[in-house]
Amino acid sequence: MKFIIWLLIGYVVYQMFKGRSGGEIPAAQPAEKGEETFRDPVCGVYVSAEDAVIGRHEGERLHFCSMECLEKYQERLENK
Ligand SMILES: [Zn+2]
């Protein structure tokens, strides 16, 4: 009987840790596997296809975290 109580406590603690670590994904880290992510060539942040600002360069699709980075990238190309 005692064993079951410890198992229950262990389970509750496990759920607490799980709840705390889950949710927000740090921007600099690749998102959870299964979700496709792209690296912003300007600031190096990983963005999901859903959140990305998509730019094009020579037929290539580029994914940016924001319009700001897209503009910076375009500026760099122009100044080349
Ligand atoms: Zn960026």
Distance 7 CA to ligand 1 centre (A): 45
- What is the pLDDT confidence band of residue 22, given thresholds at 50, 70 and 90? low
- Is 6 a domain residue? no
Q: Which long-range contacts (CB under 8 A, 24 or more apart) does 1-8 make?
A: none
State the pLDDT at residue 18. 85
- Is 71 a domain residue? yes
- Is 7 a domain residue? no
State pLDDT tens for residues 25-78: 555 555 556 779 999 999 999 999 999 999 999 999 999 999 999 999 999 999
Highest average pLDDT, of 11-15, 20-24, 55-59, comes from 55-59
Distance 42 CA to ligand 1 centre (A): 6
> How many domains does the chain contain in total?
1
- Is 8 a domain residue? no
Distance 43 CA to ligand 1 centre (A): 4
Domain span at 76: 25-80
State the pLDDT at residue 34. 73
State the pLDDT at residue 24. 56
Distance 9 CA to ligand 1 centre (A): 43
Distance 20 CA to ligand 1 centre (A): 27
Residue 51's closest CA among 21, 71, 31? 31
Q: How far apart are CA 29 and CA 45, in angstroms?
A: 7
